[in-house]
Amino acid sequence: MHEFSITSQIVQNVLAEAEERSAKKVTEVQLVIGKLTFLGLEQVRFAYEALTKGTIMEGSNLVIEEQEGIVQCGNCGYQGDFKYEDDPLYHVPLPTLKCPKCSNTVTITAGKECTIRNIKMLV
């Protein structure tokens, strides 16, 4: 939903890092984007291409690693994927905060991140 503003922040941060190191060119940017964010990867790529034009990031390789959603149960210690409710009506399985093992309520521990993990640049 907010790909353009988030990608604009990503580009600004990368350019600032590149400037600090007097880089001539940025060749690759690696991002980690959680599956529970509302960021569409296709839109991120589109915004990235548009926003890097005319900068030292133009033409750089954008690598996006997706982080699965992970939940943890405070009751039985379960850690892993959501429990999904499956119903033909839902079209895709409905994620729930119910522990798949003990039905207690779980908390989300991963899947909401949007991180610049690595930048490769030519100096």
- Binding region for other proteins (CB under 8 A): 1-2, 6, 9-10, 12-13, 16-17, 20-23, 27, 36-38, 85, 89-90, 94-98, 103-105, 108, 112-123
Q: Which is nearer to other proteins, 17 or 49 (CB)?
A: 17
Contact 1/85 with Cβ under 8 angstroms?
A: no
Instruction: Determine the number of helices (DSSP H) and then strands (DSSP E) in the chain.
Output: 2, 8
Minimum distance from CB of 85 to other proteins (Å)? Answer: 6
Q: Which is nearer to other proteins, 50 or 97 (CB)?
A: 97
Dump the DSSP string for 63-91. Answer: EEEEEPPEEEETTT--EESPEEE--GGGS
Q: If DSSP codes are grouped into helix, strand and coil, which group holds residue 16?
A: helix
Q: Which is nearer to other proteins, 46 or 110 (CB)?
A: 110
